[in-house]
C-alpha cells in the first residue's frame, strides 16, 4: 500500500509526502490548483485499481465477466459495501 | 547456477522463444484496458455516491471526494482521471512491448541428463566429471510450469544453493507429454516416472535419499513417499496442496467447477491447454499483470531486476498441456472432490494414505500464498502429526526465487535437511 488512513482519520499519500490536510491547505478556498487535481487523479486511479484487487482477494477469484460486472455498474446504482458485485 | 548460453538451434529454445506472455495475451489486455477505460466512469460514480467500493478503499475515497468543492473541480478531476488512465494503459502496453523485445534469455542449466523415460528427464546437477561428491537429493517440480523455477538464474536457484552446501541435486524435467504420457493419470507419473527416477538417485547414493516436492510436485512426492518409503530418507514439501476442502474458501476451489465444465466440453482425450490454467492464474488477481508491466516499463533494461523479471515472467507463461486424465484428476478429483484430503486419491491401485509416509516430513507453506492455501498444506498434520511446519513468509513463487528466498526458504530447508531427525 502506498497510502492509508492515519489513526486520526487523515489520509496520507506516502509517495507524495503530503497529507490530505496539507493538500486542502494548499489550494485556494474556491478552486483546486492544477497540481492538486493531478495528484488527486493519480490517487483515485491507484484506489480504483486497489478496489479491484481487494474485491478479487475477497471473492478469491475475479474472472473477466465478474470484473466487467464490477467495473460497469450503472451510474445510478446505489453504493454497495461489502456485497458481491 | 553455472550457466551456459542457451542453444537457440534446439527445438526447446525455439518453443520457449515463442512462449513469451503474458498469457493469455487477449485476456490480460482485455482486463487491463477495461480497468483503465472505465476509470472515468468510476470517478463519476464516486461523485454520485454509487458504484462498488470495497471497504478497504472507502475511507480514502471519501476523503478524496471531500477535496472537490465545486463543479469546476469535479470536471477538471474527471478530465485528469481519464487522461491519466489512458496514460497508465499506454505504460502497461509499453511494458509488455519492452518485455517482448528484451534480449535476455535465461541461460540453460548446467546439468547432464541422467535418465530419460518417455519424454521425462532426470537432470543431474553434480555429475562425477564435475567433481561434485555431494549427497544426492531428488527435486520434483509441478507439472504445470517448467522445472527450471528451481534453477531460474544465477543467485536465484535452489539447485545452486543446495549444490554449494554439500548436495548433488537431481531435478525432474517433466517436459511436454509424449505419446505415452498423454495417456497418463497422475498416479502414472508417480509410479512410471518418479519411482524409477528415485530408484536411480537412491542407487547413486546407495541409501534412501531426501526428496523435495514443490507445489503439485509436493503432492506427487507425498504419494511417492507412501509407495516407496524405503528409498526416501526425508520428505520436504513446499506449498504442496493436500486437503482442498479448507474452511477458508480459495481460488482453486472456486475455479474447479468452471474447469470441470470446460473439461466436459473438450473432445475426448484432448489435453488441457496451457491457457486454460493460465486463465485461472490471471483471474486470481486481474490487476497484477497491469501493475507489474507498468513497473517493468520504468526499469533499467540492463538491470538484474529487469532480467529477473524477464526470466520469471517467461517461466510463468511457459507450460505444457496437461494430459487429459491428469487434468481430470487434479481439477475435478483434487480441487472439486478433495480426493487427496479424503484419502480417496488412487495411485498404483490403492488410495494414498498419509500414515504410509514414515520418513520425517517438513511442510513449508506461506500464509500469503493465494494459489495453495496454507491450511491445505498444513492439513497433512492430521495424518502426519510429527511433521514440522514452517511459514517462509512470502508468496507462492516469491518464496522460491524472490529476494528473501535464501533466508526465508533455502536456509531453513538446509537446516532441516541437515538435522538428525531420529526419534
Q: Locate the domains of chain B by residue range.
A: 26-82, 108-250+321-418
Q: How many residues does chain A have?
A: 85
Give the span between the Cα atoms of B190 and B278, in whole angstroms. 24
For β-strands B3-4 and B108-109, DSSP reports them as: antiparallel
Predicted model pTM: 0.85
Strands B167-173 and B135-140: parallel
Please give, rounded to a whole number of angstroms, the shortest distance from the CA of A24 to a CA of chain B. Answer: 7
Is A40 a member of any domain?
yes
Order the strands of the A11-13 sheet from edge to edge.
Answer: A3-5, A11-13, A18-19
Q: Which three cell numbers stand for residue B17?
A: 522463444
Contact flag A5-B45 (C-beta cutoff 8 Å): no
The residue count for chain B: 423
pLDDT tens per residue, range B116-139: 999 999 999 997 666 667 999 999
* β-strand partners of B235: B211, B361
Residues A44, B64: C-beta atoms closer than 8 Å: yes
Q: How far is A26 from chain B (nearest CA, A)?
A: 11
pLDDT digits (tens, 9 = 90+) for B355-365: 999 999 999 99
How far apart are alpha carbons B308 and B301 in whole angstroms? 10
Say if CB B158 and CB B150 are below 8 A apart: yes
pLDDT digits (tens, 9 = 90+) for B59-72: 999 999 999 989 99
DSSP element (H, E) containing B329: none
- Comparing A79 with B141, the larger pLDDT belongs to B141
Which residues of chain A are within 8 Å of residue B76 when distances are taken between CB atoms? Answer: 32, 34, 37
Residue A77 within a domain = no
Range of the domain at A53: 3-71
**Is position A54 within any domain?**
yes
Residues B320-337: tens digit of each pLDDT: 899 999 999 998 999 999
By the 8 A CB rule, do B261 and B336 touch?
Answer: no
CA torsion angle B277 B352 B249 B262 (round to 10): 30
Kindly determine whether residue B69 and residue A32, on different chains, have CB atoms separated by under 8 Å.
yes
Residue-wise pLDDT tens digits, B169-228:
999 999 889 999 999 999 999 999 999 999 999 999 999 999 999 999 999 999 999 999
Q: Are strands B209-214 and B346-347 parallel, antiparallel or unpaired?
A: unpaired
Higher pLDDT, B421 or A15: B421
The secondary structure of residue B380, as a DSSP letter, is G
Helix (H, G, I), strand (E, B) or coil at A79: coil
In a domain? residue A78: no
Looking at the complex, does the CB of residue B77 fall below 8 Å from at least one CB of chain A? yes
Q: Residue B269 has what pLDDT? A: 84
Of the candidates B275, B318, B313, B310, the one whose C-alpha atom is nearest the C-alpha of residue B16 is B318
Nearest CA in chain B to A34: B76
The alpha carbon of residue A73 is apart from the nearest alpha carbon of chain B, in Å, by: 6
Instruction: Considering only the beta carbons, identify the residue of A48, A62, A68 that sits closest to B283.
Output: A62
Interface size between A and B, measured as CB pairs under 8 A: 167
Domain over B108-250+321-418 is classified CATH 3.20.20.140:
no
Q: Summarize pLDDT for A33-76 with one digit per residue, the tens.
A: 999 999 999 999 999 999 999 999 998 889 999 999 999 876 66
- The reported pLDDT for the residue numbered B326 is 96
At residue B423, the pLDDT reads 52
Q: Are residues B179 and B185 in contact, defined by beta-carbon separation less than 8 angstroms?
A: no
pLDDT of residue A74: 67
Q: How many domains are there within chain A?
A: 1
CB B334 within 8 A of CB B178: no
- Give chain B's end-to-end CA distance (angstroms, integer): 36
How far is B317 from B145, CA to CA, in rounded Å? 8
A66 found inside a domain: yes
Amino acid at each position: 500500500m502506498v497510502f492509508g488512513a492515519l489513526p486520526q482519520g487523515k489520509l496520507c499519500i506516502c509517495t507524495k509526502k503530503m497529507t490530505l490536510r496539507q493538500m486542502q491547505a494548499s489550494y485556494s478556498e474556491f478552486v483546486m490548483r492544477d497540481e492538486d487535481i493531478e495528484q488527486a487523479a493519480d490517487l483515485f486511479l491507484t484506489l480504483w485499481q486497489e478496489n479491484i484487487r481487494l474485491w478479487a482477494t475477497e471473492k478469491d477469484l475475479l474472472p473477466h465477466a465478474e470484473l466487467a460486472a464490477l467495473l460497469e455498474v450503472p451510474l445510478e446504482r446505489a453504493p454497495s459495501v461489502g456485497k458481491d458485485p | 547456477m553455472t550457466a551456459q548460453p542457451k542453444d537457440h538451434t534446439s527445438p526447446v529454445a525455439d518453443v520457449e522463444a515463442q512462449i513469451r506472455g503474458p498469457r493469455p495475451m487477449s485476456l490480460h489486455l482485455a482486463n487491463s484496458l477495461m480497468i483503465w477505460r472505465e476509470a472515468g466512469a468510476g470517478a463519476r460514480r464516486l461523485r454520485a455516491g454509487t458504484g462498488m467500493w470495497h471497504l478497504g478503499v472507502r475511507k480514502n475515497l471519501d476523503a478524496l471526494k471531500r477535496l472537490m468543492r465545486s463543479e469546476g473541480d469535479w470536471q477538471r478531476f474527471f478530465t485528469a482521471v481519464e487522461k491519466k488512465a489512458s496514460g497508465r494503459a499506454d505504460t502497461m502496453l509499453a511494458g509488455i512491448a519492452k518485455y517482448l523485445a528484451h534480449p535476455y534469455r535465461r541461460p540453460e542449466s548446467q546439468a547432464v541428463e541422467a535418465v530419460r523415460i518417455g519424454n521425462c528427464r532426470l537432470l543431474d546437477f553434480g555429475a562425477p566429471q564435475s567433481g561434485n561428491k555431494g549427497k544426492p537429493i531428488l527435486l520434483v517440480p509441478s507439472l504445470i510450469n517448467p522445472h527450471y523455477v528451481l534453477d531460474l538464474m544465477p543467485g536465484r536457484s535452489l539447485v545452486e544453493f543446495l549444490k554449494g552446501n554439500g548436495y548433488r541435486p537431481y531435478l525432474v524435467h517433466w517436459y511436454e507429454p509424449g505419446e505415452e504420457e498423454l495417456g497418463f493419470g497422475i498416479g502414472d507419473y508417480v509410479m512410471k516416472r518418479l519411482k524409477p527416477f528415485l530408484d536411480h538417485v537412491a542407487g547413486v547414493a546407495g541409501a534412501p535419499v531426501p526428496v523435495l516436492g514443490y507445489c503439485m510436485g509436493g503432492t506427487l512426492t507425498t504419494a511417492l513417499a507412501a509407495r516407496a518409503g524405503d528409498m526416501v530418507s526425508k520428505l520436504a514439501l513446499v506449498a504442496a496442496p493436500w486437503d482442498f476442502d479448507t474452511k477458508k474458501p480459495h481460488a482453486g476451489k472456486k475455479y474447479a467447477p468452471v474447469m470441470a465444465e470446460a473439461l466436459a466440453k473438450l473432445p475426448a482425450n484432448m489435453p488441457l491447454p496451457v491457457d486454460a490454467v493460465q486463465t485461472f492464474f490471471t483471474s486470481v488477481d486481474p490487476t497484477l499483470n497491469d501493475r507489474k508491466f507498468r513497473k517493468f516499463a520504468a526499469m533499467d533494461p540492463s538491470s538484474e531486476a529487469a532480467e529477473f523479471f524477464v526470466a520469471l515472467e517467461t517461466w510463468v507463461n511457459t507450460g505444457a498441456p496437461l494430459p487429459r486424465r491428469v487434468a481430470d484428476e487434479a481439477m475435478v478429483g483434487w480441487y472439486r472432490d478433495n480426493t487427496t484430503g479424503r484419502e480417496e486419491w488412487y495411485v498404483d491401485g490403492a488410495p494414498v494414505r498419509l500414515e504410509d509416509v514414515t520418513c520425517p516430513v517438513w511442510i513449508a507453506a506461506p500464509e500469503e500464498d493465494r494459489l495453495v492455501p496454507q491450511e491445505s498444506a498444513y492439513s497433512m498434520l492430521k495424518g502426519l502429526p510429527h511433521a514440522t511446519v514452517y511459514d517462509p513468509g512470502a508468496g507462492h513463487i516469491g518464496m522460491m526465487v524472490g529476494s528473501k528466498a535464501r533466508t526465508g526458504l533455502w536456509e531453513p530447508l538446509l537446516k532441516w535437511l541437515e538435522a538428525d531427525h531420529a526419534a
